[in-house]
Amino acid sequence: MPFGLDISTIVIATLLLIVLLVVFFSLLAYYAHRHWYYSKVILPRTKNWVILEIQMPKENSEDNSRDMRDEEKKQMIGVGEQLYTTLSGISHENWFWQPKDYISFEIACTNKKISFYINCPKHLQDLIEKQIQAQYPHAFIEVVKGYNPFPKKGEMEAVELQLNKPYMFPFRTYKNMETDPLNALTNAMSKLSETDGAAIQVILYPAGVHWQMKPRHMALEIQQGKNPNIVAKSATGRFVKEVGGGLKDSVVGGMKPSQEQMQQRNDLSGRYSAINLTPM
């Protein structure tokens, strides 16, 4: 062979070159698609959005809240559940390159003024306004221009809140809190100076069927007596857990507890006895 190269070396070099070319063109296609998606889908979509400012009468929002008992306040807050339930069903049939509709609930503080906004597509404006008026008849809704809570000069920080546990687990809501959680946020924002600004954004995005099926499947397994922490793990994690538990039992010697110990055992593993629980 010329240059002292054998066939195996040439084959390996050719395969390596093919792999590098595939990776290069894959990355090129990926970034080209991102550029097209941003310029042809995302940017035109922002032109068809509207910002709604939601205002409540001052005598309704402050004077009445002082005279309300905690239970009455929770009932008033619970009115919003119907609003979220209706908006959660907003979706549309789309192709894989088209983004689904989403709605943004925002609390912004600019010039020591706290305002409430809803950012939504224009074709959903009428539906959202009707739902708000149905649940809050005294609310005043106005279309406004975009706002900027951040100063021209200064530092800006952004933080994304995430759950400590998987989303399948329940978390505390206003029903389990002694105080209104919104008051803590608005009180902190009201202490900002005129040169400072802040905004809180909650994005409602239509979830697929898989988002609901996983918690239902998890609740069914917990009802059968399985450990919630193990059920929440992925299939791979659960497989490793089972294999590790089997190896541990074999090393220890396969000692099993007596019948009395199994009946007295108080755990949620479901290994020795099934514990019937109410599904979430």
Is residue 166 in a domain? yes
CB 144 within 8 A of CB 53: yes
Task: Tell me what pLDDT residue 265 has.
Answer: 46
- Tell me, yes or no, whether 191 and 58 share the same domain: yes
| Strands lying side by side in the sheet with 49-55 | 140-144, 49-55, 113-121, 103-110, 198-204
Spatial separation of the C-alpha atoms in residues 174 and 112, rounded to whole Å? 26
User: What are the per-10-residue average pLDDT scores of the chain (280 residues)?
Assistant: 67 90 94 86 80 81 58 75 78 57 89 91 90 90 88 83 82 76 86 88 80 80 79 58 56 53 46 47
Residues 103, 242, single domain; the answer is no
Residues 24 and 140 in one domain: no
Interhelix angle 70-88/125-135, nearest 10 degrees:
160
Do 170 and 76 share a structural domain? yes
Pair 219, 202 in one domain: no
Q: Give the domain range for residue 217.
A: 211-264
Q: What is the pLDDT of residue 183?
A: 83
d(CA 246, CA 117): 55
150 located within any domain: yes
Distance (Å, whole) CA 139 – CA 137: 6
Asked whether residue 97 falls in the same domain as residue 130, the answer is: yes
pLDDT at 53: 95
Residue 13 shares a structural domain with residue 91: no
pLDDT of residue 98: 60
One domain, residues 28 and 112: no
Q: What pLDDT is recorded for position 248?
A: 56
Q: Are residues 64 and 185 in the same domain?
A: yes
276, part of any domain: no
Number of domains comprising the chain: 3
With respect to residue 271, please indicate whether it lies within any of the assigned structural domains: no
Within-domain flag for 123: yes
Examine the domain organization and report whether 94 and 146 are in the same domain. Answer: yes
User: Could you tell me if 60 and 168 lie in one domain?
Assistant: yes
Is 244 inside any structural domain?
yes
